[in-house]
């Protein structure tokens, strides 16, 4: 056994084993989103999804108000706010999905580390 393999096996902990065992199953998008609301970094994910829902409410309100507005000035105002809210919503969704992707990559890296540690030297 090489020095690298020895260091790798000693570095892996029971926590790594449990983490990979918990994440071994392939999950759907919504299951991954719900899982991201637990564990490390969950506070930012919760805030991001609250922000997404809040901005979505503002977007819907502005769109409805734009169609019910009496003056052209109000239509332009509500439409501008709706466009800005849509842009903010897109940015927050991109950030949240990048975090989901990061979590998935970290799980795959842990699986790879465990497989390397379990494998016998050739």
Show me where the domains of the chain are located: 3-117
User: Which mean pLDDT values do the consecutive 10-residue runs of the chain (122 residues) have?
Assistant: 64 64 69 82 90 96 96 96 97 93 86 77 59
pTM to 2 decimal places: 0.68
| Contacts with 111 (C-beta within 8 Å, 6 or more apart), sequence order | 20, 24
The answer to whether the beta carbons of residues 118 and 5 sit under 8 Å apart is no
Residue with tokens 């990979």, as numbered in its chain? 20
Cα separation, 92 vs 113, in Å, equals 32
pLDDT score recorded for residue 23: 60
Which pLDDT score is estimated for 104? 83
């Amino acid at each position: 056994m090489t020095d690298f393999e020895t260091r790798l096996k000693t570095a892996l902990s029971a926590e790594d084993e449990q983490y990979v065992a918990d994440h071994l199953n392939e999950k759907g998008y919504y299951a991954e989103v719900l899982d991201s609301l637990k564990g490390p970094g969950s506070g930012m994910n919760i805030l991001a999804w609250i922000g997404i829902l809040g901005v979505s409410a503002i977007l819907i309100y502005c769109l409805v108000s734009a169609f019910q507005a009496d003056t052209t000035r109000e239509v332009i105002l509500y439409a501008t706010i709706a466009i800005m809210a849509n842009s903010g919503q897109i940015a927050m969704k991109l950030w949240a999905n990048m975090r989901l992707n990061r979590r998935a990559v970290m799980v795959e890296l842990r699986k790879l580390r465990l497989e390397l540690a379990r494998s016998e030297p050739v």
